[in-house]
Every structure is written in C-alpha cells, then in structure tokens.
Structure 1
C-alpha cells in the first residue's frame, strides 16, 4: 500500500507516535531525557517549533510548525526516532534505563506514525485540546495539570487554559486523532 502524506511548507501538523508493541517506556526519566536530547539535536540542524506535546508511557502526541520554506517532517521524525532508539538501546544494555525483559532486539518504535495537516485555527484548537486531555482520557491522571510530561502548564501560563480545565469530562470530537 502506498501511503500519501499531506505536505505544506510552513504548515502545522498533529502527530502520534507509538512505541513498538505499546511498551511503556517513555515516561522513565532517562528515556524522557533521551527523547528531549533527540528533539534538541534534530531541531538544531533542522529547525521546527513544538507547539504542544504530551508524552505518555507508550505513545506521544505533538503539534509542530515547520519553517515557511520547509515541509519535510518525515526526515525530522526519522532522525528523532533513530537517535532515540540508538541511545535508548545503549543505555538499556548498560542498565541505565529500565529494561523490559525479552525485548533486547525488538524495535523501539512502531514503523509508521500518524500525521495530520492542521487546516485552520479550529482544527488546531481541537487537536491542542486532544493532546492536553490525553492523560485524563487514558486514566493516568484526573486533570491535565497533574500530568508532568505535557505542554499544558505552558498554555495555562499563556491564558489559553485555566488550571482546572479538563478536570471534569471534556467532549472531544470523535474524529480528532483518527482522521
């Protein structure tokens, strides 16, 4: 099957990346630092903005905005995933990150990722809400403000959300994250 990705220079995109076999590895402190370092390294060579992000144990969601003359998110993700995988395996084999037994040779990430070109401000806001409500949706916390691995607090400081947003049920559109 041929996958077609929507590409727009300077566009804003929503992404979902999932660990291989949904292994819960991403919220280990060492793994999080490796993920941050991978992002920093790639951003230094191929700039982009991370507008919003949430990291859960087995997947992450984020919104990126690319530079006005650039639409190449695929290379950025390839570099982030490969760098993270290489250093994660090295640290796991040295015992510096939590190892999940029996997976030494398995991939770290699923092969593909979900991408969606955000069409307008309404689409952007719906995906922003989806990202920030995700830890509540998956039962990791009762309120987005309680989840450490999220850009939610940054948006509270900007006045986009109140601290108690998402502490009661939020009705998210059914198509967000599944377009």
Structure 2
C-alpha cells in the first residue's frame, strides 16, 4: 500500500478535492442536506473552519483551517464520508468494497494541498469558487447555489459580479 507523507504542520490551512466513486452521478446535489448534516456533526465533534467550499454533482472542493496544535484532517474527512454514506443506498460495489464493508459511494482517497501563502490561498479560492463555471454548470460563480462564495459576497469580501474565472484565465491549475 502507498505511504503518504504529509507536512507535519499544526493548524494548517488546506485545500481538498473529494470525489464520488461513480463520476458523473449527481448524488451530492440530490442529497445536499445529508452532506451538510455530516459536515455539521463532524465540526461539532472535531472543530475546523471552512474557509471555502463548493459542492458539485460528483465532487467537492474545500479549504479548511484546523485549530492550533491539530493537523488531523483525515479523521474529519473520514467522519464526513461515513456519516454521509450511512444515509445513502450503496453504489455499485466490487468485491473489495464488500470486504471493507464500504458502500462504494466515495473514492477511497482525497487530494490535499497545504496552502503556502496569501497568493496560494487566492489561487485556490478562485479555483474552488470558479469550478462550477469551469465545468459549464453556470456562467458566473455567483449563480451556483452550493458554494461558500455567497457567504463571502454577504461579508463584502467578493464582488458579486466576479465571473468565476481566475485572473490568469486558467483557474489556477
């Protein structure tokens, strides 16, 4: 099995991408209330701040800041995935899913990137909020209802007319 070496930084700010096992399905949107409840329950038991989040039909992006002296985001994501999965019908299970008692809803791993500085944060915020535009789901980022961009607009931190396209035009990839 692969061994992942993660930075040993406590209280990190981290960008994540999580995807459903079956790309192309819309389970996350159809069951958005279940996902929100799983996140809420996990935040109550293991606090973290959501700096940004966008939920698309088959994947999500998030930027979190963990409390000082804490770097355990993996347990938090495991909790969210498990709590969400408990409320769902199983997906197309292979023998490996049955062996591990998995419902075949989420991909087993997730992608993370530790934010390095203010420029890196801005790049990942734009990527997160611009993702529905990139996937052709809406013309402007503000038009996507499942995004934390709305919170930032209310706080006056983001211009409501922002198109969702990063200044370089490449979504920061």
Give the whole-Å Cα distance in 1 for the aligned partners of 2:92 and 2:114. Answer: 35
User: Structure 1 runs of 4+ off > 6 angstroms?
Assistant: none
Q: 1 CA distance for matches of 2:115 and 2:78?
A: 21
Alpha carbon RMSD of aligned pairs, Å?
A: 1.9
Q: In structure 1, how many angstroms separate the alpha carbons of the residues matched to 2:164 and 2:125?
A: 16
SS in 2 for 1:20: coil
**Equivalent residues of 1:9, 1:71 under 8 A apart:** yes
Whether the aligned pair in 1 keeps the contact of 2:130 and 2:165 (CA below 8 Å) is no
- Give the deviation of 1:161 after TM superposition: 1.7
2:150 alignment partner, one of 146, 150, 153: 153
CA distance, structure 2, for counterparts of residue 172 and residue 9 of structure 1:
33
SS of equivalent to 1:149? coil
| Residue 55 (structure 1) aligns with | 55
Q: 1:82: how far off? A: 1.0
- Aligned-pair CA distance for 1:24: 2.2
Correspondence for 2:26 among 21, 24, 31: 24
**What pairs up with 1:69-88 in 2 under 5 angstroms?**
69-88=69-88
Between the two proteins, the alignment pairs up a number of residues equal to 162
Alignment of 1:1-179 (within 5 A): 1-22=2-23, 23-28=25-30, 31-89=31-89, 103=91, 105=93, 107-166=104-163, 170-172=167-169, 176=173
- Structure-1 separation of matches of 2:106 and 2:165: 32
Please give the alpha-carbon distance, in whole angstroms, between the structure 1 residues aligned to 2:164 and 2:60. 21
SS state of the match for residue 33, structure 2?
A: helix
Between the aligned partners of 1:38 and 1:7, the Cα distance in structure 2 is: 26
Give TM-score, length-normalised by structure 2. 0.86
Structure 1 gaps of 5+ residues are 93-102
Unaligned runs of 5+ in 2: 94-102
